[in-house]
Structure 1
């Protein structure tokens, strides 16, 4: 088959440069297909495979990453429904970027440690999304505390869209409640 027929049958995938920050490291500019999903970019280009592909429709939130905004606030974003170029110029944190290394040891965030202490997950597939969602929720509580009597409802509202197929919600919510209660300024009486 000649090159012209190959090109007609299999056209070149259009690419454009992508630059963003992931886990504190500037990435790019790197040529990325314009139709590539962020989950695929993380897995295939950066070997960051901790963010899990779940439903492929943005429903389960297993693929959630955290977005850091210029004002210091955080939000969550799904990577299975948004293209890599949607994140152009943004600063995101995948599950690999939550824990930090200090003096040669890996130090987990309070949320990660609470999930372990509460045996929150069984298979762990949804855990990266829950870590991102819970971290964003705690950031919101630091900015706008809730009354202790409303904490359970606030946790449910914040993480209602995250699906755990092993039904570990009670332990996830207990862990998040423990961290919120232990973090000064998150909960008011």
Structure 2
């Protein structure tokens, strides 16, 4: 067993004693009851299980939780799909993240299984673009390069990509 402490959605969890073989996806589901991150393929291919890691230097990166052990996140600050909406004091949702709003506006998802991965990766992309903006004519290529690994079995790619492009173009400072 190994002791870990992680900050997830601005809440510290731990120290907790866990088996070092437990994946981060299992940890989120079984230890913390955060079930919004989905198990898709179990091989790190479909990206349904993507979460965001916030680094001390202000950057963020995405990780596939189905193939990454939870102990690798010891001491890290993470965000899951449950951490993006704005909540009131009772824990009720009062506002969705702009990316979530864009996905709804564009009817991006059908079954929704891949949505948490698309959402997290898109939020990380927009944060990256706010630090390093790109020309508008490069937005579609950047979306494809960033989200191209995501698998949507309902074939919602066109709507996802349209929603992501809309969200990027509406984010001040993301494009030149």
Give the shorter-chain TM-score range: over 0.9
Q: What is the distance in 2 between the residues matched to 1:181 and 1:43?
A: 34
Aligned pair 1:159/2:172, yes or no?
Answer: no
1:108 maps to what in 2? 96
> 1:38-94, CA deviations, whole angstroms, 9 ceiling, x for partnerless residues?
111111111111100010000000011011111121111011000010111111111
2:33 maps to what in 1? 47
Query: In the alignment, is the contact (CA less than 8 A) between 2:85 and 2:93 conserved in 1?
Result: no
* Cα distance, 1:29 vs structure 2: 0.4
Q: Normalised by the size of structure 2, how large is the TM-score? A: 0.96
Query: In the alignment, is the contact (CA less than 8 A) between 2:3 and 2:15 conserved in 1?
Result: yes
2:58 maps to what in 1? 72
Q: What is the distance in 2 between the residues matched to 1:133 and 1:177?
A: 13
Which of 65, 75, 89 pairs up with 2:75?
A: 89
Aligned pair 1:99/2:90, yes or no?
Answer: no
1:126 maps to what in 2? 114
Q: What is the distance in 1 between the residues matched to 2:88 and 2:161?
A: 28
Q: What is the distance in 2 between the residues matched to 1:100 and 1:91?
A: 18
Moved over 3 A (4+): 102-105
Q: What is the distance in 2 between the residues matched to 1:158 and 1:59?
A: 14
* Cα distance, 1:106 vs structure 2: 2.5
Which structure has the larger Rg over C-alpha atoms?
Answer: 1
Aligned pair 1:33/2:19, yes or no?
Answer: yes
Q: Normalised by the size of structure 1, how large is the TM-score? A: 0.89
C-alpha RMSD of the superposition:
1.0
* Cα distance, 1:35 vs structure 2: 0.8
Q: What is the distance in 1 between the residues matched to 2:152 and 2:8?
A: 25
Q: Which moved more, 1:97-106 or 1:116-125?
A: 97-106
Residues 57, 105 of structure 1: CA spacing in aligned structure 2 closer, same or farther, 3 A cutoff? closer
User: Which secondary structure state, in structure 1, belongs to the residue aligned with residue 78 of structure 2?
Assistant: strand
Query: Tell me, which stretches of 5 or more residues in structure 1 are unaligned?
Result: 1-14
